[in-house]
Every structure is written in structure tokens, then in C-alpha cells.
A and B are shown apart, each in its own frame.
Chain A
Amino acid sequence: MSEASLRGKAAIIGIGQSPVGKVPGRSPLWLAADAAQKAIADAGLKKTAIDGVLSGHAFASPFHRFSIAFSEYFGLQPTFSNTLQVSGATAATMFSIGAAAIQAGLAENVLIVAADSLMTGLSPDLALRSLTESRDQQYEMPFGIPVANTFAMTAHRHMKEFGTTAEQLAEVAVIHRRHASRTPGAQQTKPITIEDVLTSGMVTTPYHKLDCSLISDGGAAFVLTSAARAKGLGIAKPIYILGAGECYTHEHIFLMPSLTTTGAVESSRKAYTMAGYGPHDLHTAGVYDCFTGTVIMMLEDLGFCPKGEGGPYAVSGEITYSGRIPINTHGGLLSFAHPGIPGSLFHFHEVIAQLRGHCGERQVPGAELGLVHSLGAGFATNATTILGTENTL
């Protein structure tokens, strides 16, 4: 391990999330402030202790510099701040950049915060359009290719190459809904069946409506500090960043090197190496679930199962309670909430709550080591974070 490694150098000492789902009359800045207040209180700090703010963009906010607009709204004048943009992978990068900034002495206590109101802050057509406009205007968008379509083409090819079935995809949605049914405040909690998914109406083949994640309002926030400071503050259960890795393989979907093997292979390999742990050491994970097929491909690329076996693995019970690695115990983007850039922060919130042992009836017994994988833009962006308790240091 190199001297410069981030392993164990930074700890998450506060977590908070706003109400999620349909939260009318509340701006992204309010949702962010609500989550931030909770995270800072959870850490037992005053907001004056925050000297760094990292954030992501919000579609429903007019501000180009969300982290700066947020700081003004919340009454902060940070000395380290940025608004990051690598689509769905932004969440994980906020943790590694925050940890690196702390290690480098750029900031002491970094607030990670993102929120958006895709459900009530934008009309449905404009919400969809906000997603399509993230595709290239020269070579993709003139053909009417929503971001869902890029993910759909990867899953479709996965079905062709490995025999993954529509029923296996559907089962992923069913499991996520079952998980969300135990999560207070989740957006969708009504149980569903494979049949419900398959008859929910086609969006873009092979994805039916219930294969797709939600469109939501909501936000989450975290307080990150150095491991030494976490100790000094007497934090009961700091959760450490043990490993981090990123990988960016393309911008245009037609330049993705392989439609069925993604940059998650490399981002997770780097994270596992830094952490000194492998996939089979994990007790729980947050796996980016913008679509059901995305989960199946990630189970393979994160090393939970061999390439091509993600479908059978997902339906074998290994990704839920009493399985090998229960994932997305809050219900994920498919059933808990998906407000865009902040979506993957809820995976962090859940994995951290699991590692703290605070998940009540959702608790994975003895969870000490977890992983979160964030990705976006048709697998253009991938970032993996490995988190653990003091026992895993």
C-alpha cells in the first residue's frame, strides 16, 4: 500500500437524507439543506465546523454552481468546494475527492450533498428531456435515443450473448420492491411479481416500465472528516473509506469497448486493491440500479459472480437477505427513489447505516464491510467505493 493511499484516512461521521419520492413545493436547495442539517446533527457538529462542500448538479435548480448556491442558501462560506459532474458516478467520486482533499489538507470537514426534484420540479416531458439532452447532440440525440436506450442496448446484447432472460431482469425489480417495503419513506413499497413487471408496458426493449428506476424528488448529505479527527470527536461508529476506484471508458455509447463488460471491472479492481479486500469479503453492497439489467451486469463486473452468470445469480437469492451479498437493502433506484445525480447517495446512506448496525428490520447481521458502485451515462462513468467499520481497518 503506497503512503499516498486513501485507505482508512477519512471517515464518514454524519449521514442524512431528505424526504424522498413526491416532495412538492420544495426546491432542490431546500432538499439539500434538509439533508445537510440532519447529517451535521448526526455528526454532533455545528454547521460552522464545515469548511468544505462537494455537490452535484440539479436539473430542477437554475444554479450552474450548485455547491456554491447551496453554501449561500445554507449560510456557509466554505474554503473548499466544487460541483462535480460524472453523471450517476458523481456520488462515489464525491467521497474519494472529499477524502483526498482532507488528506491533502484542503479541508477538515467536508459536507457531501446533492438533491434534485425530478418528480415535481420538472414536467414529465421536460424531466425525460433533461435526461436525453445528456446524450450527444450530433451523433446520438438526432436519432431519438434516451439515456434509457443506451442502457437497454447493453442489456439486450447481454441477453443475446449470455442467454439472460426477461424473467431474470424482472426478478431484480421484484427483489428491490421487497427490500423497499421494509424501508420507511420509500417511494414504492407495494409488492410486485415477475408478471407485473412483464405486463407493465414496454419502454425501450428489453425494458418494461418496472425494469426502469423511478423519477423522484430527494437528496442526501454526509459529513466526511479525517480518521484522526473522527476519533478526537468521540464519534461512536465512524465508517472508513477503505478503497476507491474510477474508470471512464467512452462518452458515446457506440464507442463503448464492449457492450457487456464495463469500466466497473477496472474501477472495482482498483478499489479492492486499495482496500485489501475482495468481493467475497463483502457483507452488503449498494449497486447502481438505474435498470434491472444494469444490476445483472454489475454483479458480474464487480466480481460477485462470473461473467455471463449475473442473471442466474440474481434470481438464486444471493442478492437478498441470507444470500451471499444482500444488495440495495433500501430498495435502490428501482423502488426507494431516484432523483438523478443524488440517487446513488442513497446507496451510500444505506450501506453506511448497515455498517453502523442501524437498519432495524432491514439489518444485515454482522455487516462490517460494504461496497457502493455508482455509474452513469450508459456505463460511460464508473466509480466504486469500499467502506468499513473500525474492525476492517
Chain B
Amino acid sequence: MSVDAARKPLPAPDPDTARLWEGLRQGKLLLQHCDDCKHVQYYQQALCRACGSENLTHRPASGHGKVHSFSVVHRAPGPAFKADVPYAVLLVELQEGPRMISTYVGGNPAEVTFDMDVTLVCEQVSDEITLPRFRRAG
């Protein structure tokens, strides 16, 4: 097994995405709000996906959302995730509207249900990268 295959992939911040990862390091999940058409988007990019405007303002998300769908991974996608199974991958619908991929923390993956209320947890995984994960709300 190559060293590379055993290591979890980490995001490599680039000019499009740097602010998002910087925000997460400070415990904030930044969403982009379009000043022109009011569209709210995740993930970070230079243009509004709805109207093409470049007038985008970052605002921290409330961190509240619901589980729109999920799938509990029992067979890891490669050696890097073998020690983690079973884990629940979540498709979270944030209170502000956008959806995002994350994973469930702070409980047994078997307790995840559709439309369950979840809350953001910022988990530092390296000096540079903090990943947005979610736990059961309340």
C-alpha cells in the first residue's frame, strides 16, 4: 500500500476557496451572500451561481441544519478510511438554504435519521485545515 493511499485526502485551499478554510480555522462556516440577488451559496467561489455578480459577502452560517439524506459507510473508500467505519456521511441542508456534505460526530451513526436537526462542529485535522462536521442538535 502506498503512503499516499493510506493518508486521508485534505483540501488544498486555492484562491477560490481560501476564505472558507480560513473561516473554519476560526470556528466559522462562511456562506457567500450575493449583494445583488440575495442568493446564498456554499461553496466559496468568485461569482454568484445565480446571477453572476462578483459582489459577494461572506457571513458565518448559524450552524443549524437538517439531515436531508445520509448514508452510513461500512466499506471504506480506500485504506485511509478503514479505521473510521462505520461512519455516517450526511447531506446537510443548512438553515440558510445551501446543502453540504459532512460527516456525523458525537454519536453512533445508527442514530442518524432523515430531517434530524444537527449543529456544526469545527474539527481541526491539521495546522491548516479544520473540517465542518455535524452533531445532533440540542
Contact surface of A with B, Cβ cutoff 8 Å: 125-126, 128-129, 131-133, 137-146, 148-149, 152-154, 156-157, 160, 201-207, 209, 252-255, 259
Best-surrounded residue of B11, B43, B69, B80 (most CB of chain A within 10 A): B69
Contact residues, B99-125 vs A (CB, 8 A) = 99-103, 114, 125
Taken together as a complex, chains A and B put the C-alpha atoms of A205 and B81 apart, in Å, by 16
The count of residues in chain B whose C-beta lies closer than 8 Å to any C-beta of chain A is: 38
Contact among A142, A156, A160, A204 with B75 in the assembled complex (CB-CB below 8 Å): A204
Q: Closest CB-CB distance, B81 to chain A, in whole Å?
A: 4
Verify B5–A144 contact, CB threshold 8 A.
no
Q: Closest CB-CB distance, B70 to chain A, in whole Å?
A: 7
Verify B17–A142 contact, CB threshold 8 A.
no
Verify A154–B11 contact, CB threshold 8 A.
no
Residues of A within 8 A of B40 (CB): none
Taken together as a complex, chains A and B put the C-alpha atoms of A144 and B79 apart, in Å, by 11
Taken together as a complex, chains A and B put the C-alpha atoms of A301 and B81 apart, in Å, by 34
Verify B77–A254 contact, CB threshold 8 A.
no
Verify B99–A255 contact, CB threshold 8 A.
yes
Verify B101–A139 contact, CB threshold 8 A.
yes
Q: Closest CB-CB distance, B93 to chain A, in whole Å?
A: 9
Q: Does B71 contact A (CB under 8 A)?
A: yes
Contact among B12, B74, B75, B103 with A143 in the assembled complex (CB-CB below 8 Å): B103
Q: Does B47 contact A (CB under 8 A)?
A: no
Question: 9 extra interchain contacts, Cβ-Cβ under 8 A, other than A144-B8, A144-B73, A205-B71?
Answer: A129-B5, A129-B77, A140-B101, A143-B89, A145-B73, A145-B101, A149-B71, A204-B72, A254-B91
Asked if A139 meets B78 with Cβ closer than 8 Å, knowing A129-B5, A153-B71, A253-B101, the reply is no
Q: Which residue of B lies closest to A161 (CB)?
A: B114
Q: Which residue of B lies closest to A255 (CB)?
A: B99
Contact among A144, A152, A203, A206 with B87 in the assembled complex (CB-CB below 8 Å): A144
Contact among B10, B43, B68, B78 with A132 in the assembled complex (CB-CB below 8 Å): B78
Best-surrounded residue of B17, B78, B79, B99 (most CB of chain A within 10 A): B78
Taken together as a complex, chains A and B put the C-alpha atoms of A205 and B114 apart, in Å, by 13
Taken together as a complex, chains A and B put the C-alpha atoms of A203 and B78 apart, in Å, by 13
Residues of A within 8 A of B42 (CB): 254
Q: Does B56 contact A (CB under 8 A)?
A: no
Closest 6 CB pairs of A and B: A146-B77, A152-B71, A144-B81, A132-B77, A129-B78, A157-B69
Q: Does B9 contact A (CB under 8 A)?
A: yes
Contact among B9, B69, B79 with A141 in the assembled complex (CB-CB below 8 Å): B9
Asked if A143 meets B77 with Cβ closer than 8 Å, knowing A157-B68, A204-B72, A205-B72, the reply is no
Taken together as a complex, chains A and B put the C-alpha atoms of A132 and B77 apart, in Å, by 7
Residues of A within 8 A of B3 (CB): none
Asked if A149 meets B73 with Cβ closer than 8 Å, knowing A137-B11, A137-B12, A144-B87, the reply is yes
CB pairs A–B below 8 angstroms (17 shown): A125-B78, A126-B78, A137-B9, A137-B11, A138-B12, A144-B76, A144-B84, A149-B89, A153-B71, A153-B89, A153-B91, A156-B70, A156-B71, A204-B74, A252-B43, A253-B91, A254-B42
